[in-house]
Structure 1
Amino acid sequence: MRRAFYIGRFQPFHLGHYSLIKDIARDADEVVIGIGSAQKSHEPKNPFTAGERVMMIKHALEDAGIKHYAIPLEDLQRNAVWVSHIISMTPPFDVVYSNNPLVVRLFQESGILVEQPPMYQREGYSGSEIRKRMLRGEDWKSLVPAAVIDVIDEIDGVNRLKSVSKSDKDYRD
């Protein structure tokens, strides 16, 4: 059995992530998805909780029939031991998929095979772009799977993002 690992913040999970994971699933029997910065939420760059991101991923991928594990992973501010931390928190995996230079380097230094897949329309399919569109009231729903829209609607995610993006200056007269 071949098991692959892919990590991201998924703030939110979007069609770029979805497309990449579908491609990974063609080469692997199971995909271990690391939800990075799991301790962060209710911030402009990280509005969604780890549990909400698990829901986004689970619902988006179950429709595609992709066998996966979504594992929340808190940040560890020590790169020299980061790979060991990841390995201790996830099911075993044979290959890592990433384009993040630090992630690639750390796993390669640990002797783990790393594949660098092509990115999918990186300019549009980015969490930053989606969050900006949410804040501006522009179309963001075309950039995420339908299941993710449902989760964000369920948790009132757009209004949360708008709320946490305000500063105390917004409340001064």
Structure 2
Amino acid sequence: MSNSHLFMKSGFPRAALNNGIGRYVCQLQRITIKFCKHHGDSRGVREFLEYDLVNFAKENPGVVVYVKPRRHKTPVLCAEYLNGEKHSIYCKKYTVEEVNKWIGLLRSQSGDTSDFRLRKMWHTDHPSIQGPWTPFTFRDPALNLVQFPDAELSKEKYEPTATDRLLEIFKNQQADASVKTNSTE
């Protein structure tokens, strides 16, 4: 087992600003798209700007988009989030589809990129006072010592339902009626 988690922050996963409890607030504040107008490495970013940028801006009115042409530089997507975090993705030789996917990922993230060791996969702010439930919580402890298969446990132990009782009464009435017809003959 590694000890790499010793210097990581640990805690419980939480939504940023209780995001999604009242309404969803996109955490991406602004995205800056830096590219070269002539270099071949920026072709996918240029095509994104030409065909998909307007649709992205219409679908995400809360995100400010800056376009910054730079000569002879690698294309970069720089994202800034509400919590002050910044992400940069270098898009050298990316296709339009890859640029779309990366921008979609940046839009859907919360901006918290710190290495964070999760203590649990789930968390609640109001834990149950009854304790955790398992399928074995209310089982008879004597079952721990039983050798299976056990003839006693395989017997059906149930009270007859109202339907079972009605069927039994109906069968008894039919049997009585057939006995009476046989005895009169």
What is the TM-score when the length of structure 1 is the normalising length?
0.26
Task: Name the structure, 1 or 2, with higher relative contact order (CA <8 Å, separation 6+).
Answer: 1
What is the TM-score when the length of structure 2 is the normalising length?
0.25
